[in-house]
Amino acid sequence: AIRATGAGDAVYLYSRGGLFGICGMHPTLMNAMVGPSGVEKILTWIGNDEQIPVIDALTFMGTTTRTQESDCAACGKPVYKECTQTACFGRYCQQTPEYVFDAIGLRMNRGVPTMALFGNVTDPAGNTLIRQGEAIRDAFALGVAGAGYNLRLDVGQQMWIGNPANTLGGRSEMMGFNLIVNTGKVDLFTQVACDAIDSFLIDYANNVVGTGGAPSIHAYITAMVRSILYRVDTAGLDRSSVVGHLVMHPRTWECVARAVACEYGLVCDLGA
């Protein structure tokens, strides 16, 4: 638990030295903050009370031998291998400022206007936290919105680059996609390589993404999807239950879309 120190560290709204404590300022507050928008907003979040979840996978099914010494000699017997994996939970901290009670709501003088927001402040799901046109009067609400913004940005970045090896003090990092979607998997207990559960990775080698690109980015993506679906089918899983997302920068998506449209004979923009 974190206790109050008694020495306020908050930035107040309209008091002397406050965030908006300036005489003669226009009362419209432009929202120039671009909200973090990452893959976390499309994931399904499920609560879990396990500290160290352990997941096992059947990675090999073979035989002791494929030969037989005689007609009545022993035959080969099944041999199995498994691979155990785990994941650690992250711990990320952000707190609201500490306010001195009798300093809340103070205004430097009558020349300091009450600001009204132009542009909504939203959460990852698009829900409005501070509505456009609302007067900014509540320092507590602004503090909570700021803490939420910082957590959202931190977790969004950690979804990709989180690494438990970077744990320091009370902060613990979760495993990001850079580690989860990768090769070189080993068993949790034996450290034996488990290439059967390695991720399927392809490298486009910094080639041009677009209608003028060679080889075709469309062919690369199609090969990746077909390989994944083949593995789903041959593992006895239901391909209709597969949920997939193509995640990329909007500019990259425009280039990919142009390349696909050209390959299907719809329209060709020969730019990269």
17-21, 36-40, 142-146, 171-175: which range is least confident on average?
Answer: 36-40
Side-chain half-sphere CA neighbours of 75 within 13 A: 5
pLDDT of amino acid 58: 95
Taking the C-alpha atoms of residue 272 and residue 267, their distance in angstroms, rounded to an integer, is 14
**% pLDDT > 90, the chain:** 30
Residue 124 confidence (pLDDT): 61
Phi and psi torsions of 250, nearest 5°: -55, -40
> Mean pLDDT of all residues in the chain?
86
pLDDT band for position 141 (cuts 50, 70, 90): confident
Least confident of 45-49, 54-58, 76-80: 45-49
What's the pLDDT score for residue 24? Answer: 87
Residue 188 pLDDT more than 90? yes
Q: Are 1 and 92 in contact (CB under 8 A)?
A: no
* Dihedral sign (CA 257, 258, 260, 266): positive
pTM for the model stands at: 0.77
Rounded CA-CA distance 167/187 in Å is 22
Question: What average pLDDT does the segment 229-247 reach?
Answer: 89
Long-range CB pairs of 166-171, under 8 A, 24+ apart, other chains included = 170/91, 170/93, 171/91, 171/92, 171/93
Helices (H), 162-271: 177-180, 217-234, 250-263
